[in-house]
Amino acid sequence: MHRFFVSPQSISGSRVSLVGGAASKITRVLRGRPGDNVIVLDGSSLEYRVVLRSVSTEQVIGDVVESGICEGEPGIAITLYQAIIKGDKFEYVLQKGTELGVSSFVPIICERSIPNARKWSDGRYERWRTIVREAAEQSGRGRVPHVGTAIELREAIKSHAGPGMIPWEMERDNSIRHALGRIKEQVTTPDRIGIFIGPEGGLTLEEVDLARAESIVPITLGQRILRAETASLAVVSTVMYEWGEMGG
């Protein structure tokens, strides 16, 4: 069943109004008709099964026939601090990270970030947020992950609260398995974790030392050197597996 995020104001009692892109997609792409069912979400982890009553490209009206808690939200909140990398790769991380269960994305600027990382326009952020919303709809999420504006790595490190990990190709001893085990030992039921991923050119020693000073743990991902976008998804997947969020 197709899913659509709407503002809470779009749901009034048992009546739901879908406008804009949602109405256009239902009408033009899905060829929706009165009597069809869709799932509507208000971003609070509640989902509503809605029967369509009237359909047009400007507005789709439906009635709520069932509601409940969306089961697609993970029990741990992952904030992914992703160094800005070349456009399509960064967008890939946003899309797949959302599917895997990332709760929040923070674009970060590192010493070796691409030169124009500080010049993104508002339109770029709008595109990123659209990608995340569509991925959340497709993957059965109950909330749309937050996408922040780009900040310097130093600021991200200082502002993060809770356990954190930072993959680094020069780390040799502290594996992600060991780091996650230590986090579980130190915090009985950790409900959040930060993952810091560097740019294509890698992190500098000074950046890693800064992270370490704020208790963000450098980790190794094994003998192979992973691209930035691969490292992001590998770590997110491992954390989700460790917290029983991959079907186990």
Q: For residue range 1-16, what is the model confidence (pLDDT) as tens digits? A: 899 999 999 999 999 9
Residue at a domain's end among 69, 85, 106: 69
Asked if 224 and 174 sit in the same domain, the reply is: yes
So what's the pLDDT on residue 209? 96
Q: Are residues 152 and 189 in the same domain?
A: yes
Report how far residue 150's alpha carbon sits from residue 220's, in angstroms, rounded to the nearest whole number.
26
Domain span including residue 23: 3-69
Query: How much is the average pLDDT of 134-160?
Result: 95
Residue 243 to residue 237: CA distance in whole angstroms: 10
Domain boundary among 41, 69, 97: 69
**CATH number of the domain that residue 192 is part of:** 3.40.1280.10
For the segment 128-154, the average pLDDT, to the nearest whole number, is 95
Tell whether the model's pLDDT for residue 119 goes beyond 80: no
Per-residue tokens: 62: 């439906």
Q: Which pLDDT belongs to residue 121?
A: 63
The CA R_g of the chain, rounded to the nearest whole Å, is 20
Residue 241 is predicted with a pLDDT of 94
pLDDT in the model for residue 184: 83
DSSP alpha helix (H) spans, the chain: 20-24, 87-100, 122-139, 153-159, 176-186, 205-213, 228-242
187 pLDDT tier (thresholds 50, 70, 90): confident
- Say yes or no to pLDDT of 86 above 90: no
Same domain, 11 and 89: no
**pLDDT-derived band at 112, boundaries 50, 70, 90:** confident
More confident call, 5 vs 113:
5
What residues contact residue 142 under an 8 Å CB cut-off, 6+ apart?
41, 43, 44, 45, 46, 47, 69, 70, 71, 72, 73
* For the chain, percent of residues with pLDDT exceeding 70: 95
| Tens-digit pLDDT profile for residues 14-57 | 999 999 889 999 999 999 999 999 999 999 989 999 999 999 98
- 170/203 Cα distance (integer angstroms): 10
Say yes or no to pLDDT of 248 above 80: no
Q: Which DSSP string corresponds to 141-187? A: -SSPPEE---EEHHHHHHH--S-EEEE-TT--S-BHHHHHHHHHHHS
* Mean pLDDT lowest among 149-153, 166-170, 181-185, 195-199: 181-185
Q: What percent of the chain has pLDDT over 90?
A: 77
pLDDT at 143 exceeding the cut of 90: yes
Across 188-193, average pLDDT: 78
Task: Specify the 3-state DSSP secondary structure of 65.
Answer: strand
Query: Do 99 and 40 sit in the same domain of this protein?
Result: no
- Mean of the per-residue pLDDT values for the chain? 92
Q: What is the number of structural domains in the chain?
A: 2
Are residues 92 and 53 part of one domain?
Answer: no
